[in-house]
């Protein structure tokens, strides 16, 4: 076998050692050598001296079977594909962390792609991951409108699709926790931020908020409702829309933001307007991302167990892949409510007469 020198003077193979090279050296077939090296059922009929000779030659040649070669017979890759809108944002990161934790325990790997709200790119990535041999998919905050040929779990998926299990938060419970907290503090004039159309939770969450607001007799004034736009994963998402609410000169004593990111941006806009949180305006977020406790003031919020949702999605997918779990169309997860410093008793202050 041809060798070449490395910078430190050692020698390494010019080309990777193949199974055929091992077979040629010992004078046996590739199938026999593969059975020995993988300790498969077929190797039981091979004499022990022959096994030892194959293993010795493999060691001498420093042969390392590829992952695909080891699993060619059983057609397994032990990989799944994770599809998300963003990688590294406050929402997806803990979910992917939960996925990774579960997969690591089960000796699976994952490939992650971010399609950034581009439907054509989403379809393209699905095909690429399938070509790479993934055995299933987990989607995160992705609006799916079609079935996928492989087992799929959709975190924050809401459309009933054949073969897809949706892992969802109980948004009605979440809305009740947030709005009953505000009404208990005496808030009646409450402003609302609707989610961007790019978010898979937006429609379901808004429907739940409207239903609960009706039950609690909270007025839903059009002038106190604003819809987020875009996909900015930073607090800048909520900042301009909070300024828009303030510019309407319609007084409100509390704001229920779509998520923590928009709530944090809103607090900045409120403070810049000369108002204090929560003395003049209480603010409630949604998600309980890691920085929510570190904002000033610390953020009262609906807690989604994001890491737990990732672990649940991964565990459900692996059970389906390995045949130990039945298909269920939906798995609901309960929210918690975390009271911090951004909410307080309703203020009687009207800022309708303030300048912008």
Whether 141 and 93 have beta carbons less than 8 Å apart is answered as no
Instruction: Tell me: do 148 and 243 sit in the same domain.
Output: no
Whether 111 maps to a domain, the answer reads yes
CATH of the domain at 158: 3.40.50.2300
Q: Is the pLDDT of residue 31 over 50?
A: yes
Closest CA to 153 of 335, 320, 300, 337: 320
| pTM: predicted TM-score of the whole model, two decimal places | 0.79
Closest CA to 356 of 282, 262, 272: 272
Q: Is the pLDDT of residue 352 over 50?
A: no
Instruction: Tell me: do 151 and 219 sit in the same domain.
Output: no
Domain with 187, as residue range(s), is 171-304
Instruction: Tell me: do 85 and 38 sit in the same domain.
Output: no
What percent of the chain is predicted at pLDDT more than 90? 69
Last residue of a domain, one of 55, 71, 87: 71
Question: Which pLDDT score, from 0 to 100, does residue 76 have?
Answer: 78
Instruction: Tell me: do 32 and 144 sit in the same domain.
Output: no
Question: Which pLDDT score, from 0 to 100, does residue 40 have?
Answer: 66
Question: Which pLDDT score, from 0 to 100, does residue 13 have?
Answer: 46
Instruction: Tell me: do 45 and 100 sit in the same domain.
Output: no
In terms of pLDDT, which residue wins out, 118 or 174? 174
Split into its structural domains, the chain has a count of: 3
Instruction: Tell me: do 282 and 261 sit in the same domain.
Output: yes
Last residue of a domain, one of 71, 96, 113: 71
Q: Is the pLDDT of residue 45 over 90?
A: no
pLDDT for 50-62, tens place per residue? 999 999 999 999 8
Whether 195 and 169 have beta carbons less than 8 Å apart is answered as no
pLDDT for 158-203, tens place per residue? 999 999 999 999 999 999 999 999 999 999 999 999 999 989 999 9
Whether 144 maps to a domain, the answer reads yes
Q: Is the pLDDT of residue 41 over 90?
A: no
Whether 348 maps to a domain, the answer reads no
Q: Is the pLDDT of residue 33 over 60?
A: yes
Whether 95 and 201 have beta carbons less than 8 Å apart is answered as no
Whether 64 maps to a domain, the answer reads yes
Instruction: Tell me: do 88 and 53 sit in the same domain.
Output: no
């Amino acid at each position: 076998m041809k060798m070449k020198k490395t910078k430190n003077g050692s020698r390494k193979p010019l080309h990777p050692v193949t199974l055929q090279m091992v077979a040629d050296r010992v004078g046996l077939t590739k199938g026999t050598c593969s059975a020995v090296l993988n300790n498969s059922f077929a190797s039981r009929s091979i004499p022990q001296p022959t096994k030892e000779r194959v293993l010795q030659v493999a060691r001498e040649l420093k042969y390392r079977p590829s992952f695909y070669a080891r699993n060619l017979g059983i057609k397994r890759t032990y990989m799944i594909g994770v599809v998300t809108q963003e990688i590294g944002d406050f929402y997806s990161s803990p979910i992917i962390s939960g996925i990774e934790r579960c997969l690591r325990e089960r000796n699976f790997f994952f490939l992650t792609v971010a399609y950034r709200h581009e439907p054509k790119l989403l379809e393209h990535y699905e095909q690429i991951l399938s070509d790479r041999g993934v055995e299933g998919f987990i989607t995160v905050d992705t609006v799916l409108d079609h079935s996928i040929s492989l087992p799929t779990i959709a975190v924050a998926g809401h459309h009933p699709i054949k073969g897809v299990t949706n892992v969802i938060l109980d948004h009605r419970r979440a809305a009740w926790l947030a709005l009953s907290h505000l009404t208990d503090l005496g808030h009646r004039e409450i402003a609302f931020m609707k989610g961007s159309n790019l978010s898979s939770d937006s429609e379901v969450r808004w429907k739940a908020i409207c239903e609960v607001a009706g039950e609690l007799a909270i007025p839903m004034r059009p002038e106190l409702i604003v819809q987020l736009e875009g996909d900015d994963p930073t607090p800048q998402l909520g900042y301009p829309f909070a300024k828009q609410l303030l510019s309407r000169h319609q007084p409100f004593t509390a704001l229920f933001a779509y998520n923590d990111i928009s709530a944090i941006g809103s607090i900045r806009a409120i403070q810049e307007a000369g108002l204090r949180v929560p003395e003049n305006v209480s603010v409630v977020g949604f998600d309980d991302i890691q920085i929510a406790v570190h904002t000033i003031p610390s953020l009262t919020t609906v807690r989604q167990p994001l890491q737990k949702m990732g672990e649940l999605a991964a565990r459900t997918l692996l059970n389906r892949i390995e045949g130990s779990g039945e298909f269920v169309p939906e798995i609901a997860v309960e929210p918690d409510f975390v009271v911090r410093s951004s909410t307080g008793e309703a203020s009687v202050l009207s800022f309708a007469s303030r300048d912008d």
